[in-house]
Structure formats: structure tokens, C-alpha cells
């Protein structure tokens, strides 16, 4: 690594700006199209104390040029994250490009919903939005070069750190599996109980109704002097 | 200031290299989304020529746990199409550079919305430090041991994911069964009462309107 920034602070500042500009190109990769008021939800089933990082970038469809504009200021995306109990963990408005992070405190299905909240509704009428999305969960969310720089780790130490993180994720997933299995078992036992009690109850009701019918009809026919 | 400048400069350079390398291929996405009935949802990703990509998908909840899926290359040719599949895995080496799209369709179903999980991996996994990718020397024993362990742990995590999805599917069915047992039992009890009352009323009506013909009484 040559001493590139050995010059004055100004050069380093310019480099930092260049990097920020490169950072601003945002998440690449998978994208999908979303309508104007459409809400798109994704579900992440995660154990507790797991960090989730989501990066997105939006592009608007230009009807005249029939192409997606590279970046569109004024577009907003509303991100809402709900935990398994339905409680809202994160509900924020971001710009046309954004990054959201949350850490789960209860294990289970977290729902991440995105919908556009555009301020330029007129241009948007009938148009569509292209959303690039990238969601990283748990160990994948770690930024290893940053960790290496912060803790001054060698390459081997960094590899070991990655292995430790992976094993930690496996352990958390196993704990979560135990919790899920318990829930499953409770549901099955509840079904078992319900089937048992309802069957007994229905048989009893059937017998009682039969007895009532016969007694009622008997008294009816006796009253009619038929019996 | 003297020692801080070259160190932060090298950090900046490191980050710059990382960003430039991110511009290259390796990537992937693993998402679970809801597919409403009569709907189709498509995802697109740009793939370079010669890069191998794989798509794994599985239906977690909903209806008969099946979905239609098709993959199209940038020229619009369908390279994979399956109907009413519960889960499948598809690998392909991209011949043409461009945007590949894959779509999941629930258009054959009128009232069940489905939850679909898919894992789309493009290329190989990127190294955790950018300059690990272009080594000149061979790996030491420690490093190759680390690589082996890393690959094995990835397999473990993958199988945990598949197990979790299966378990979610079974649990959804069990919870569905649990609530169905309640509703049907209550419904049957009500039906029982209604039928027995109407039986009695009907019989009584036979014998009140006209003179009794026979003395036989059905109970």
C-alpha cells in the first residue's frame, strides 16, 4: 500500500469525498418493480439478538424517455419492520436510497415492509419504481475489512473471527430451533386435547339429545292419547 | 499526525479497493416474501457472461404449498419453467451477459396466498478481505484448515435453513389443524342441536295436522 495520502489533508479530504460518492452508488444486485402505492413485504425468520441490515436503492421510470432514471431525488421509501408479536420495531421514512438496521429481541418472523411515499406523484402517475434490495442477516451483516481495521487483526485472525461468528450464528439458530419445537409440541398437544374433549362432549350431547327427544315425544304422544 | 496519515490513507485505499471489487460479480439474495392469490412477482438481477448462478426456492405456507416458477434470460428465452412445484433447485451458467429475471406465479390459485422463500446465488462467495482474492503464494496449513471449516459451516447453516423452512411448514399446518378442530367441533355441536330440534318439530307436525293413521311411533 503506497503512501497515497501523504500529501496535505486536502488530498485526503478529496479522497474521502470520492469514496463517499462511490458509496452513494448503493446496493447493486437483485431488483424488482413496485407500483405507486404498492406495499412489498419480506419476512425474515430469525433468532433473537440477530442484526439485520438492509440496503435499497430506487429508480423511477421516466415515461417520456422509456428508461429508468439513474437516481431520483424527491423519492421516498417508507420502511416498516414488525416483530413476531406485531409490534413495530422500526418505522421510518428514508430517501430514494437508504440503509436500515435493526436487531431482533424476540425470535420469530419479522416482517419488513417497503412502500413508496413519493413527493412527485404527478410524474409517477401510472408509473413504476425499480427497487434494488439487499438484506443481510446475522453473520453476513458483518463488515470484515472494518473489523480488521478496527481491531488490527491479521488475515488468519480475521478468518478465525469469521469462523467464530458463523459458529455463534449456528448456536443461535439451534436455540431458536428448540424454542420453535416447543411451540410446535404445545400446538400438537393442544390439538390432541381438543380432539379428545370435543369427541367426549359431542358423544354426551348426542346421548342427552336422544334421551330428551324420546321423552319429549313420549309425553307428546301420551297427551295425544296415541300411546 | 505523521503516523496517522499513512494509516488512514491505507485504510481509505482499502475501502476503495473493496468498493471497486463490489462492482464485480459475486452476490446473491435470500428472501422470503408473500405472494397473494392470482399474483405474479418477478425479480431481476444482472449476471455477467460465464458466471454460474443458482436458484433454490420453497413454498412455506399457503394452499397446497405449490407455486409456478420460470427463469428468463436477457433475450427473453425461458431457460427454466416448472408448474406447481413445492421446492426445487436450479443451476445455470450464464451464456449471455444481461439481466436475468425469475418469476413466481400464484395465478392458478383463487384464494390462497402463499409465502415463498428463494435463495439466488450468483458466482462464488467474495473473500472477506479484498486482497485475499489475488494471492500469489499457496495457502498455509492454518489457512486451508480455516477455509475447510468455513465451507463445512456454510453447509451446516444451509441445512439449518432448510430444516427451519420445513419446520415452519409443518408448524403452520399443525396450527391450522388446531384451529380447524375447534371450529368444526363447534359447528357440529350446533348442527346436532338444530337437527334434533327440527326432527322433533317435524314429527310433531305430522301428528298435529291430520288424524293419526298408524300407531307406530318412530323415535
Q: Of the given ranges (A37-46, A53-62, B203-212), which has the lowest mean pLDDT?
A: B203-212
B38/B14: higher pLDDT: B38
Instruction: Check: CB of residue B12 under 8 Å from CB of residue B83.
Output: no
d(CA B21, CA B27): 11
Say whether A189 sits in a helix, a strand or coil.
helix
d(CA B41, CA B59): 14
Which H or E element spans position B33? Answer: strand B27-35
B77-93 pLDDT per residue, tens:
999 999 998 889 999 99
Contact list in B for residue A227 (CB cut-off 8 A) is 215, 217
The pLDDT value given to residue A117: 73
d(CA B41, CA A111): 18
Query: How close A35 comes to chain B (CA, Å)?
Result: 12
Packing angle, helices A155-223 and A144-151, rounded to 10 = 130
Say whether A4 sits in a helix, a strand or coil.
helix
Query: CA angle, corner B92, sides to B118 and B155, nearest 5?
Result: 55
Please judge whether B29 and A30 are an interchain contact, meaning their C-beta atoms are less than 8 angstroms apart: yes
Q: Assign B23 a pLDDT band (cuts: 50, 70, 90).
A: very low
Which residue of B lies nearest to A24 if distances are taken between CA atoms?
B19
Please judge whether B174 and A184 are an interchain contact, meaning their C-beta atoms are less than 8 angstroms apart: yes
Q: Which member of B120, B157, B175 has the closest CB to residue A187?
A: B175
- Cα dihedral sign for A206, A211, A212, A213? positive
Please judge whether A43 and B33 are an interchain contact, meaning their C-beta atoms are less than 8 angstroms apart: yes
Q: Which residues contact B164 (CB under 8 A, 6 or more apart)?
A: A45, A173, A176, A177, A180
Percent of the residues in chain B that have a pLDDT greater than 90, as a whole number? 43
Contact list in A for residue B29 (CB cut-off 8 A) is 29-30, 133-135
Which H or E element spans position B89? Answer: strand B87-93
Q: Which member of A32, A158, A194 has the closest CB to residue B41?
A: A32
A114-142 pLDDT per residue, tens:
888 765 554 555 567 888 899 998 878 78
Q: What's the mean pLDDT in A193-216? A: 93
- Strand-pair partners of A103: A51
Query: How close A145 comes to chain B (CA, Å)?
Result: 6
Contact list in A for residue B162 (CB cut-off 8 A) is none
pTM exceeds 0.80 for this model? no
B33-63 pLDDT per residue, tens:
999 888 899 999 989 999 999 999 999 888 8
d(CA A61, CA A130): 8
d(CA B202, CA A143): 78
Per-residue DSSP letter, A120: -
Q: Is the pLDDT of residue B25 over 80?
A: no
A213-226 pLDDT per residue, tens:
999 989 988 888 87
Q: Assign A82 a pLDDT band (cuts: 50, 70, 90).
A: very high
Q: Is the pLDDT of residue B123 over 70?
A: yes
Amino acid at each position: 500500500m503506497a503512501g497515497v495520502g501523504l500529501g496535505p489533508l486536502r488530498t485526503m479530504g478529496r479522497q474521502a469525498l470520492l469514496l463517499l460518492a462511490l458509496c452513494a452508488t448503493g446496493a447493486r444486485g437483485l431488483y424488482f418493480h413496485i407500483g405507486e402505492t404498492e406495499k412489498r413485504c419480506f419476512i425474515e425468520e430469525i433468532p433473537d439478538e440477530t442484526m439485520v441490515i438492509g440496503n435499497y436503492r430506487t429508480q423511477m421510470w421516466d415515461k417520456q424517455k422509456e428508461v429508468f432514471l439513474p437516481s431520483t431525488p424527491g423519492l421516498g421509501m417508507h420502511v416498516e419492520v414488525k416483530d413476531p408479536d406485531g409490534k413495530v420495531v422500526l418505522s421510518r421514512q428514508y430517501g430514494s436510497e437508504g440503509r436500515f438496521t435493526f436487531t431482533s429481541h424476540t425470535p420469530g418472523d419479522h416482517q419488513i415492509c417497503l412502500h413508496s411515499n413519493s413527493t412527485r406523484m404527478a410524474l409517477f402517475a401510472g408509473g413504476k419504481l425499480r427497487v434494488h434490495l439487499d438484506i443481510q442477516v446475522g453473520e453476513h451483516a458483518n463488515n470484515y475489512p472494518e473489523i480488521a481495521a478496527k481491531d488490527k487483526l491479521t488475515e488468519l485472525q480475521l478468518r478465525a473471527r469469521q469462523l467464530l461468528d458463523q459458529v455463534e450464528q449456528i448456536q443461535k439458530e439451534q436455540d431458536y430451533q428448540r424454542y420453535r419445537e416447543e411451540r410446535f409440541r404445545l400446538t400438537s398437544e393442544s390439538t390432541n386435547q381438543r380432539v379428545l374433549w370435543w369427541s367426549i362432549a359431542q358423544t354426551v350431547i348426542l346421548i342427552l339429545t336422544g334421551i330428551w327427544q324420546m321423552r319429549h315425544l313420549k309425553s307428546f304422544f301420551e297427551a295425544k292419547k296415541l300411546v | 499526525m505523521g503516523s496517522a496519515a499513512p494509516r488512514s490513507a491505507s485504510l481509505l485505499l482499502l475501502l476503495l479497493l473493496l468498493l471497486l471489487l463490489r462492482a464485480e460479480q459475486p452476490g446473491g439474495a435470500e428472501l422470503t416474501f408473500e405472494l397473494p392469490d392470482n399474483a405474479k412477482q418477478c425479480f431481476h438481477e444482472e449476471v455477467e457472461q460465464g458466471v454460474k448462478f443458482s436458484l433454490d426456492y420453497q413454498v412455506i405456507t399457503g394452499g397446497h404449498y405449490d407455486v409456478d416458477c420460470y427463469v428468463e434470460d436477457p433475450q427473453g428465452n425461458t431457460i427454466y419453467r416448472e408448474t406447481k412445484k413445492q421446492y426445487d433447485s436450479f443451476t445455470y451458467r450464464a451464456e449471455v451477459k444481461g439481466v436475468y429475471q425469475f418469476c413466481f406465479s400464484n395465478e392458478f390459485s383463487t384464494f390462497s396466498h402463499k409465502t415463498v422463500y428463494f435463495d439466488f446465488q450468483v458466482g462464488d462467495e467474495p473473500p472477506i478481505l479484498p486482497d485475499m482474492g489475488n494471492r500469489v503464494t499457496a495457502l498455509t496449513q492454518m489457512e486451508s484448515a480455516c477455509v475447510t471449516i468455513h465451507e463445512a459451516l456454510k453447509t451446516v447453516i444451509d441445512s439449518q435453513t432448510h430444516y427451519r423452512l420445513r419446520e415452519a411448514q409443518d408448524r403452520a399446518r399443525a396450527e391450522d389443524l388446531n384451529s380447524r378442530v375447534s371450529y368444526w367441533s363447534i359447528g357440529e355441536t350446533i348442527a346436532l342441536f338444530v337437527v334434533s330440534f327440527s326432527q322433533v318439530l317435524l314429527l310433531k307436525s305430522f301428528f298435529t295436522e291430520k288424524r293419526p293413521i298408524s300407531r307406530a311411533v318412530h323415535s
